[in-house]
Amino acid sequence: KYKACLFDLDGVLVDTAIYHFQAWRTLGKQFDFELSHEQNEELKGISRVESLDKILHWAQFQATQEQKDIWLKEKNETYLELISHMNPSEILPGVLTFLKQLKDQGYLIALGSASKNAQIILEKTGLITWFQAIIDGNKVTKSKPDPEVFLKGVEALACSPADCIVFEDAQAGIDAAKAGGMKVVGIGSSAILFGADKIIPSFNDIQVSDLLLL
């Protein structure tokens, strides 16, 4: 029934939100702002540039484009240092078993992430070997909820949207998959994720055979 699965990265395959949180907190010290955990939730799935704009809005801080560019670079340097220590133990529960099942059953596998650092995270965790196509923040011009990132993944796999299932932890990503005409499985809580075809707490709660029911 389906030919391919497209995975978001942060919050689906690995939990890098904690590293983004630390890096934004470090940056925030420069303009006296302490990002809260609740605010960090709102940054999930959105691009680096949009994240800084939201943070500056919360901090009620006006910055020039030049200053913003410096801060974006600094935030990423801190983030790169934090993720340089990542390893396979940080792959989220059930993910490897699920990827193996998919591969054994002939599904194609692609990445659809907003992150410009996706490649290095996939390498550090060893996840990279599972993917036939990688579409990340360097390959798209429009952020989720625009479907571009997933449509490029579909194209790279030579499939059509109706053949594909997207796995996402962020509302913007669920909306992007739906806008692209794909089925979508939300990872997380049905209290905060809307519009998915199915919601699971983690990959321990799904088998490849369940996909046929979507």
If binding is defined by CB under 6 A, does position 125 make contact with ligand B16? no
Annotation says 15 is catalytic: no
Nearer to ligand B16, 108 or 174 (CB): 174
Annotation says 8 is catalytic: yes
Selection from ligand B16, Mg ion, none that 48 binds (CB < 5 to 8 A by kind) is: ligand B16
If binding is defined by CB under 6 A, does position 171 make contact with ligand B16? no
Measured CA distances, 37 to 3, 40, 41, 125, 135 (Å): 37, 5, 6, 25, 28
Write down the least CB distance from residue 144 to ligand B16, Å: 7
If binding is defined by CB under 6 A, does position 152 make contact with ligand B16? no
Length of the chain: 214
Tell me the torsion sign for CA atoms 132, 182, 203, 125. Answer: positive
If binding is defined by CB under 5 A, does position 186 make contact with Mg ion? no
If binding is defined by CB under 6 A, does position 20 make contact with ligand B16? yes
Q: Is 5 helix (H, G, I), strand (E, B) or coil?
A: strand
How many alpha carbons lie under 13 Å from residue 105 in its C-beta half-sphere? 18
Among 5, 6, 10, 145, binds ligand B16 (CB under 6 A): 10
Q: Tokens 């691009």 correspond to what residue?
A: 47
How is residue 2 written in tokens? 């389906």
Summarize as ranges the residues that interact with ligand B16 (CB under 6 A).
Answer: 8-11, 20, 43-48, 51, 76, 113-117, 137, 170
Q: Indicate which residues carry an active-site annotation.
A: 8, 10
